[in-house]
Amino acid sequence: MPQLHGALLDKLLPLLSAFTMAMTVPQVWQVWFGRDTGGVSLLSWSAYLLAAVLWMVHGLRRHDRAIWVACIGWILLDAAVVLGLLVR
């Protein structure tokens, strides 16, 4: 039974990662094209960016493609929000 859960989780996690990234796109859109940064925290998004970079380093060190590939998407999204906040 644990192997079944592991296999299911291995298939579910990449989908969940893509879903949560897609749910972040409206925040990026709002910062860049809605020109509304009210309620968007530079500190929070900078922390998310730092965490994604550290997770990517961890994934690269462990040679775990599932970790570092997802982190590329997160770094791009988090950096887009941070940069959008800095230029506004």
Q: 3-state class of 45 per DSSP?
A: helix
35-61 average pLDDT score: 95
- How far is Cα 23 from Cα 39, in angstroms, rounded to an integer? 17
What CATH code is carried by the domain that includes residue 30? 1.20.1280.290
Task: Name the residue with tokens 């309620």.
Answer: 39
Task: Name the residue with tokens 């959008």.
Answer: 84
Which domain covers residue 47, as residue numbers?
2-87
Which tokens is 26 given?
A: 């409206």
Structural domains counted in the chain:
1
Predicted confidence at residue 9, as pLDDT, reads 84
Angle at 17 between CA 16 and CA 18, to 5 degrees: 90
Predicted confidence at residue 88, as pLDDT, reads 81
Span 49-81, pLDDT tens digits:
999 999 999 999 999 998 999 999 999 999 999
